[in-house]
């Protein structure tokens, strides 16, 4: 299946399931771009073996390396953001639980509210 078709399927599934489509699409884009850059790197090796201009190959290799590095940083930032959102949601859920207990809510109601809050972070 082509990469664009795979990304379309991921987006379609994410939207149909009401998931965090932005996060899923971002991750799919990162993987797609990383895959393309790695293929380009392989193609450059073939050009180098065929005796193409070494300076041009070095320049393109530098650009690919920089792009892979940027993608790596983006992925790390994305994971950090997910963790922060999850931590904040857990903190909020715990505060709601404490307040709800003080107000006399049932354990079942409290758990339902916590699931709803924590579902935001998934």
Non-local CB neighbours of 42 within 8 Å, separated by 6+ positions: none
How many domains does the chain divide into?
1
Two tokens, residue 44: 């450059």
Q: In the predicted model, is pLDDT for residue 52 greater than 70?
A: yes
Q: In the predicted model, is pLDDT for residue 12 greater than 60?
A: yes
Look at residue 119 in the predicted model and tell me its pLDDT. Answer: 80
Q: Among the listed ranges 5-9, 17-21, 45-49, which one has the minimum average pLDDT value?
A: 17-21
Please name which of 73, 82, 60 lies closest in space to residue 34, comparing C-alpha atoms. Answer: 73
* Residue with tokens 């049932």, as numbered in its chain: 106
Look at residue 63 in the predicted model and tell me its pLDDT. Answer: 85
pLDDT band at residue 85, thresholds of 50, 70 and 90? Answer: confident
| Arithmetic mean of pLDDT, 14-19 | 61
Distance (Å) of CA 12 to CA 16, 32, 55: 6, 16, 43
What DSSP state is assigned to residue 52? -
């Amino acid at each position: 299946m082509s990469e664009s078709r795979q990304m379309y399927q991921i987006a379609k599934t994410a939207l149909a399931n009401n998931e965090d489509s932005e996060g899923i699409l971002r991750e799919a884009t990162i993987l797609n771009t990383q895959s393309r850059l790695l293929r380009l790197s392989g193609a450059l090796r073939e050009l180098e073996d065929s005796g193409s201009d070494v300076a041009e190959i070095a320049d393109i290799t530098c650009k690919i390396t920089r792009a892979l590095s940027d993608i790596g940083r983006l992925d790390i930032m994305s994971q950090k953001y997910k963790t922060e959102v999850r931590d904040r949601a857990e903190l909020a859920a715990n505060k709601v639980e404490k307040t709800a207990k003080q107000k006399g809510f049932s354990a079942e109601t409290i758990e339902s509210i916590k699931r709803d809050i924590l579902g935001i972070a998934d």
